[in-house]
Amino acid sequence: MANAHPDQLFQTRSGITPHVLWAVPWTKSFFGKTLAGWETRVRKMIYALFQLVTQPDAKLPREILNAENLHEILGWATKPEALKVGAFPILAVARSLNALTDAQIFTPEEAAKCFSALEQLAADAQAISPDEEPLAFQLLAGELPLTLACVGRKLTVARKNALLKQAKKILNETLDDFLDGAGMPRADLLPVSRLLAASWVRYRWLDLMRIDALPDPNGNEETLLEHQTDENSSSIFTSDGLSALEWAVRLLMYCTRPDGSMIFTRPSEKTAFWCPELFVAALKIDSDRDDKKLAVSILPDLTSKTAGKLAQSLPSASNDSPWSRVSILQTNWQTRTGAVVTWDQTFPKLEILSRKVPLISGDWSFRGTWKGKALTPQSAWREIFSYNTAEADYVELDLELSEGFTLQRHVLLAKEEHFLLLGDALSGDGFQGEKVLDGALRWQTALPIFPASKVYATEDSLELFAGNSNGPCAVFLPLAHPEWREKLTDGNDFRVENGSIRADYRTEKSALYAPVFIDLDPQRMGAALTWRQLKVGEKLQNVPPHRAAGFRVQVADAQWLLFRSLAECCNRSVLGHNLNSETYVGIFKPDGNTTAILDVEKG
């Protein structure tokens, strides 16, 4: 295998997808104006180079594979403003240099000159900022020198070692800087996470080819590779690096919707992103059998008929990463019902799935004023608490705002009860409750509706009903508002507007709690429902909702109690229940008591 070309390391299942284009959304919407006017020409060139390598006896499209056209495309691809998308044709040419010479498309002198230019480009690419251009950094500063080291003919030992040293350095840097310790990419890298993973997978296959440690790429072996990772190995992967790659493959599946698209992408981008060949290749070099079980259980095109038997042995369907700023809350792998939230930007992103189909997806935006002055972020979001059990997943974030306000935002998934609870808690005194001021507080939030879903209102009541390809799938209840529209006061509302579910809140105090209850149980769709705000007692006195708020929700025969403190925690009573909690959610039992789903106690 030592002389094999990288494109022959692993044939894709279809046999036609160039490996350099694995999971690449070759669209102007993804790459921007840089690709305009070049997308068709460049794509044809990459496919033609792939054909040249894998089918050398086939008739070649000389109108595409000629030195003049290749040099012109490389000239465009190597411009600084084009490197994000230009990296792909650059890699394709680098992987095909030997074949271009053998086919007499390049003279040996032209090939040598091109190799030297790409070698210099790889060296210069180390100056690319991995924070500003992470994809170009990995492809050009890391994968390109490894590719050149693999295909270079008659390279001196010094040149080859320099290329390998750089490739190893960038590999370790990107695995360390782009992933948390368990494979989850940083939230800001989610849009390119499949492309980064594809590069790491190609990295591994190139490395295995280079050290002549590959299995037969055309065989049907089920045994896993024996990774060479000891200190005398020539592999550029350390044992920690291999572990990071395998974790990245697993978490990539967590971030893949049941239809194969990536979380937070639009319906039109599904085809551009989904690439089963990437997962097949990744799983071939993954020593963790749990990852393979997960793949055949949840990934389209890979699902096994026996997947149902594996359900009990799959890893947890939920994952929380404060470092990556990503939290995945799911009931199970069979329905995928739940939510994903990220918080690396001003507005967290939220995606809600109901029975495998997206319902909400995009920026969970907010806008507020205090006495007419805008409440603007003064810090980054941080995770202050998370909780994961068989009964519930919970994550709570906070953000400092101007005018001395703090915003705490939470997501609760009740797995057995099949509902989500979203909530915003605002306080002007850090939730101490000692300096609640009079004044006009206005708050508005928006949940972006996924384009393939529909949300509609009724004329008289405030609940909103949602449906998608599964039929009726969710009911949204604005618990801080009255059930009937006629009882709304000025400045308060809950409606569908401009493709979003919008909630407006108005109070004359410097604190409020705005929860939205989302019923996701298909068996309860269409059932009778009601909700009301409850009186909360403290030291034998009722307290106002700007100090503590309680709610009762009923859908069909199920009833729940919800409570949130906006001041220091102390003993309070709500509907006969004594609580010392900051947040409490419980289900009513037949005797009137409740069983806790969530109980957060803070001093």
Q: In three state form, how does the secondary structure of 447-512 look? A: EEECCCCEEEECCCECCEEEEECCEEEEEEEECCCCCEHHHCCCCCEEEEECCEEEEEEEEEECEE
C-alpha span between 262 and 190 (Å, rounded):
9
pLDDT at residue number 552: 97
C-alpha span between 601 and 570 (Å, rounded):
10
pLDDT at residue number 230: 35
SS3 content of the chain, % helix, strand, coil (to 5): 35, 30, 35
Residues 424 and 494 in one domain: yes
328 domain-assigned: no
**Nearest in space to 332 (alpha carbons), one of 348, 349, 310, 350:** 310
Strands (E), 236-277: none
pLDDT at residue number 224: 33
pLDDT tens digits, one per residue of 370-416: 999 999 999 999 999 999 999 999 999 999 999 999 999 999 999 99
**Nearest in space to 326 (alpha carbons), one of 227, 188, 216:** 188
Residue 157 burial (10 A CB sphere; 0-12, 13-18, 19+): exposed
Helix (H) or strand (E) holding 386: strand 382-388
Output the CA–CA distances (angstroms, integers) from residue 590 to 19, 280, 358, in the order listed. 59, 51, 34
pLDDT tens digits, one per residue of 305-357: 666 667 678 999 999 999 999 999 999 999 999 999 999 999 999 999 999 99
353 domain-assigned: yes
Residues 101 and 170 in one domain: yes
Confidence of residue 54 (pLDDT cuts 50, 70, 90): confident
**Nearest in space to 358 (alpha carbons), one of 249, 479, 458, 447:** 447
pLDDT over 70 (residue 458)? yes
pLDDT tens digits, one per residue of 584-596: 999 999 999 999 9
| Other beta carbons within 10 Å of 145 | 28
Overall average pLDDT of the 528-557 stretch: 95
pLDDT tens digits, one per residue of 85-138: 999 999 999 999 999 999 999 999 999 999 999 999 999 999 999 999 999 999
Overall average pLDDT of the 536-556 stretch: 94
pLDDT at residue number 223: 31
Residues 264 and 408 in one domain: no
Confidence of residue 53 (pLDDT cuts 50, 70, 90): confident
Contact criterion met (CB below 8 Å) for 164 and 157: no
Domain termination site, one of 311, 344, 362: 311
Residues 376 and 419 in one domain: yes
397's CB contacts (< 8 A; 6+ apart) are 341, 343, 348, 381, 382, 383, 384, 408, 409, 410
pLDDT over 90 (residue 227)? no
With vertex at residue 235, the alpha carbon angle to CA 92 and CA 190, rounded to the nearest 5 degrees, is 55
pLDDT at residue number 35: 79
pLDDT at residue number 221: 39
pLDDT at residue number 420: 98
Reading phi first (left if > 0) and then psi (alpha if -120 to 50, else beta), residue 433 is in left
Residues 62 and 167 in one domain: yes
pLDDT over 90 (residue 77)? yes
pLDDT tens digits, one per residue of 155-197: 898 999 999 999 999 999 999 999 999 999 999 999 999 999 9
Assign 83 to helix, strand or coil: helix
Bridge partner list, 523 = none
What is the torsional sign of CA 45, 47, 53, 56? Answer: negative
C-alpha span between 121 and 83 (Å, rounded):
11
pLDDT over 80 (residue 582)? yes
Confidence of residue 303 (pLDDT cuts 50, 70, 90): confident
Residues 211 and 294 in one domain: yes
* Domain coverage including residue 383: 335-600
C-alpha span between 166 and 236 (Å, rounded):
10
With vertex at residue 274, the alpha carbon angle to CA 268 and CA 276, rounded to the nearest 5 degrees, is 160
Residues 384 and 269 in one domain: no
Bridge partner list, 44 = none
pLDDT at residue number 215: 44
Output the CA–CA distances (angstroms, integers) from residue 54 to 5, 18, 19, 201, 392, in the order listed. 9, 10, 11, 19, 51
Overall average pLDDT of the 513-522 stretch: 97
pLDDT tens digits, one per residue of 271-293: 556 888 888 889 988 888 999 99
Confidence of residue 219 (pLDDT cuts 50, 70, 90): very low
527's CB contacts (< 8 A; 6+ apart) are 555, 556
Confidence of residue 603 (pLDDT cuts 50, 70, 90): low
Residues 146 and 56 in one domain: yes
463 domain-assigned: yes
C-alpha span between 286 and 242 (Å, rounded):
9
**Structure tokens given for 199:** 């590069």
559 domain-assigned: yes
pLDDT over 60 (residue 154)? yes
Residues 517 and 428 in one domain: yes
C-alpha span between 316 and 388 (Å, rounded):
10
pLDDT at residue number 354: 94
402 domain-assigned: yes
**Nearest in space to 117 (alpha carbons), one of 71, 160, 157, 156:** 71
324 domain-assigned: no
pLDDT at residue number 306: 66
Enter the pTM of the model.
0.91
Whole-number percent of the chain with pLDDT over 70: 91
Residues 136 and 281 in one domain: yes
C-alpha span between 297 and 317 (Å, rounded):
12
323 domain-assigned: no
- b/e per residue 12-21 (b: at least 16 CB within 10 A): beeeebbbbb
**Structure tokens given for 400:** 């400092």
Please give the radius of gyration of the chain, using alpha carbons only, rounded to the nearest integer: 28
First-to-final CA distance of the chain: 64
pLDDT over 90 (residue 304)? no
Comparing 349 with 301, the larger pLDDT belongs to 349
Confidence of residue 269 (pLDDT cuts 50, 70, 90): low
Q: In terms of DSSP H, where are the helices of 133-215?
A: 134-136, 144-151, 157-178, 193-210
319 domain-assigned: no
Helix (H) or strand (E) holding 215: none
pLDDT over 90 (residue 36)? no
Confidence of residue 445 (pLDDT cuts 50, 70, 90): very high
Determine the number of helices (DSSP H) and then strands (DSSP E) in the chain. 13, 27
pLDDT over 80 (residue 225)? no
Query: How would you classify the pairing of strands 536-538 and 500-509?
Result: unpaired
Overall average pLDDT of the 145-150 stretch: 94
Q: What is the number of domains present in the chain?
A: 2
- CATH of residue 373: 2.70.98
Residues 307 and 372 in one domain: no
pLDDT at residue number 495: 96
Overall average pLDDT of the 17-32 stretch: 79
Domain termination site, one of 277, 311, 345: 311
Average pLDDT in the chain: 89
Contact criterion met (CB below 8 Å) for 256 and 336: no
Residues 342 and 210 in one domain: no
